[in-house]
Amino acid sequence: MTVQVGDCNPLIRNLAPSLKARNIRGVAFLDPYGAHMEWATLEALVDTGTMEVVINFPLAMAINRLSPAPEMFRNVGPTS
C-alpha cells in the first residue's frame, strides 16, 4: 500500500491508467471536501473499467450551508 498526500484530482488521474489491467479490481471511496472533485477525475476512474466508485454526498451539511441563516444571525457583525 502506498499513501500519497496532495490534491486527489491529479493523483487519481495519474494512477488511473495503471488500474486497467485485467487482474485488477477495486473500489474507490470518494469523500470530496466541498466541490473540489473534478469531473475528469471521475471519468478517469470509470474509464478503467475495473473500479467501482462510491461517492459520499453529505446532504445534511449542504442543506445547512445553503439554507438562509435565521433572522437573529443576519445582522451580527464584529463588536468594536
**Residue-wise pLDDT tens for the chain (80 aa)?**
788 888 889 999 999 999 888 888 988 888 777 667 888 998 999 999 998 988 887 666 666 666 665 554 555 556 55
Count how many domains the chain has: 1
DSSP 3-state of 25: coil
User: Is 47 within the bounds of a domain?
Assistant: yes
Within-domain flag for 4: no
Please give the residue range of the domain that contains residue 37. 22-69
29 in a domain, yes or no? yes
The answer as to whether 59 is a domain residue is yes
Residue 41 counted as domain residue: yes
Q: Which residue shows C-alpha cell 476512474? A: 45
Does residue 76 sit within a domain? no
| pTM of the full structure | 0.61
